[in-house]
Amino acid sequence: MRKILLVITTIFVICHMQPIVSEAGAEEGKVFTLQDCISIALRQSPLIRSSEFDIKVSEESLNISKGALLPRLDLNGSFMKENQPFPYIPAQSMTIPAKFSDEIYSWGLYFRLPVYEGGRLLKQIDISKIEEEIQSARLRLTIEDVIVNVTNTFNKLLQLKELQKATEISVDALEHQRKNTELSEKAGRAAHVELLRTEVQLASEKQNLIRVEESIIRTKAALAFFMGITQDQLAEVIGTLKTDEKIPSAGVDELLKARPDIVAASKKVEQSRFRVDAAYGKRYPSVALAGNYGNRAGSGFHQREEVWEAGAVASVNLFDGGIISSEIRREKALLNKSEEELRLLQLKARFEVDNALSLLKEAVQRLQVAEKAVEQSEESFRIEELKYKSGAGTVTDALLSQSSMSLAQANNYQAMYDYNAAIVEFKKATGTIEVSK
């Protein structure tokens, strides 16, 4: 029975064990897909977290604006020492004289409730609500920027890794070619210059391999930066560069209206209009209910008296040196500025969409050419290699075909990256970057 219980307990513990999780939020030793990198970036990126705090600030600003409409209640207290007795309670009649003391204690509750402020308080609430919407749109924009940077850097890393594999194969082939040429030279079937040409080509390809390897290191560092983690937290990445993704061919104008930066700019225009109205509101009277209840006492708290007052207070500006007028003109100028900024963003968005479509069209054509070039270069290299081995060709022709094949492969991987970058650019331009935590 004890053995059965031990087995059951062991199974329960194993089933409920949690995987070891690093600070980046991934299991130790796990390879990262693109979605893994994006998910980590959405949790760890300081840019995103900073924007989230901006939303929190705007939420509290809205609470402050709403609180200005509610009653205000203050508890006040004071102690004053005078150089001579002072009437802290005035005379109430001929038979009730004033009360004097050189020490005056007072405490009480002060109440104030705004009744009319020329619409300023209500406009401030509207301004705060729109600010919250602006910050939400900016958060979305920040998230999209982070996803774009992570995606492009991740794809660049995939491109470099494929280029590294191709270059390693090329180095191995040239190593083999060098050995064969060295044997042929010793046997008297090849000149020494052919061996030198092979060694030069091999050294050049090794240099290319080092350049690719160092580019991978730098790209990994950039990817970790965009993800908001350190480079040692970044595992190996895995994925493939797509060459068949489709984009919407219609409805671009509607997509542009939903772009986060255009949404934020539109909200800013609306907010500026409310600010103009709030500035105009300062020309209207301010009315509030006010009251005060408390006690006053003299030395030693003797002859304490209850005091209270209640009523309405009103004020209206008659002359302020033109301050309100200047504020109105300032807010109008800011409104005009925000309208022009919105128009600029709309023009920029259309330009970015057209530019992305042009880049995509160019990338598709270049990808087709690059694929054909790889196919042709591989076949040419195979033929030249057979000709050289059979003695019908020269080492120079074989090396040239090897170099052409390496260049064609590099161009193909670059074309694949450019195609994916153009897709990402179009999604960013139309505000259709998929955001999911």
- CA-based Rg of the chain, rounded to a whole angstrom? 38
Predicted confidence (pLDDT) at residue 94 exceeds the cutoff of 80: no
192-216 pLDDT per residue, tens:
777 787 788 788 888 988 999 999 9
Q: Are residues 355 and 268 in the same domain?
A: yes
CATH number of the structural domain spanning residue 104: 2.20.200
Question: Do the domain assignments include residue 436?
Answer: no
Average pLDDT over residues 105-128: 92
Eight-class DSSP state of 16: T
Mean per-residue pLDDT over the chain, rounded: 83
The pairs formed by 269-273 with CB atoms below 8 angstroms and a separation of 24 or more are 269/335, 269/338, 269/339, 269/342, 270/130, 271/127, 271/130, 271/131, 271/134, 271/338, 272/331, 272/334, 272/335, 272/338, 272/339, 273/335
Q: Are residues 37 and 93 in the same domain?
A: no
Q: Are residues 251 and 293 in the same domain?
A: no
Instruction: Give the containing element (helix H, strand E) for 102.
Output: strand 99-116
List the one residue out of 416, 404, 398, 403 whose CA is nearest residue 373.
404
Total domains present in the chain: 2
CATH number of the structural domain spanning residue 130: 1.20.1600.10
Confidence of residue 44 (pLDDT cuts 50, 70, 90): very high
**What is the predicted pLDDT for the residue at 394?**
64
Average pLDDT over residues 83-96: 73
- pTM of the predicted model as reported, rounded to 2 decimal places: 0.79
Question: Do the domain assignments include residue 419?
Answer: yes
Question: Do the domain assignments include residue 290?
Answer: yes
| Domain span at 377 | 2-70+119-282+339-430
Q: Are residues 57 and 18 in the same domain?
A: yes
Confidence of residue 36 (pLDDT cuts 50, 70, 90): very high
Predicted confidence (pLDDT) at residue 9 exceeds the cutoff of 60: no
Q: Are residues 308 and 414 in the same domain?
A: no
CB 409 within 8 A of CB 163: yes
236-255 pLDDT per residue, tens:
899 888 887 777 666 788 88
Place of tokens 């040196």: 321
**What is the predicted pLDDT for the residue at 190?**
65
**What is the predicted pLDDT for the residue at 11?**
35
Q: What angle (nearest 5°) sits at the alpha carbon of residue 134, between those of residues 132 and 137?
A: 110
Confidence of residue 372 (pLDDT cuts 50, 70, 90): confident
- Beta strand spans in 298-329 (E): 305-315
